[in-house]
Structure 1
């Protein structure tokens, strides 16, 4: 069962999904954010279709390690997803993922950011499983 990553933004939400062995993160789609209900419905559909077992959400922490207004919004969103979709939700530090995604010059920068968040999560898990 794959893992879904979310790069949560005020206007767009990027998604990425792991391969069946949880080794590689793949870009999935971008959702144009209208409201919380619409986003939840789209996430629910993806989670059911792909049989997602866990959700990883990028946590925007400043370079100094401080929380920001967006950090609080993401924490609240993560709790909302956990309750409404009844899934295991993990937060992953997303510092510099947007910069790295821009560096790749991907046209789907939100999906690329989600892919980088998920790949970081998968690599860290693999490292600690050894």
Structure 2
């Protein structure tokens, strides 16, 4: 069903839309979509696919990963330590908007074919 390789704009956007609808049904509210920040010369920029708020006020930074199936470890396994660092960098930049940052966490929403797996607190900012 999904494979972010190929034409990234179309398939990636479809995966993110599926993830967003799923998370909204779980009670989360969208704050930002595709939040991007430059990292500087020679460094890769950071991006957060979705930034949502839980009912309790927790900010949730979500990485959406999609694969046609679970071969090669599946979608969740593709969130490498380097990708995590770029997500954390972008989240730190986003949190500068808040005088007192709210509680937050990093989730991964993995789409493997038709299967959806929501990994809450998938990794920590260290």
TM-score of the superposed pair, with normalisation by structure 1:
0.36
User: Whose helix fraction is larger, Structure 1's or Structure 2's?
Assistant: 1
Q: Which has the higher contact order (CA 8 A, sep 6+)?
A: 1
TM-score of the superposed pair, with normalisation by structure 2:
0.37
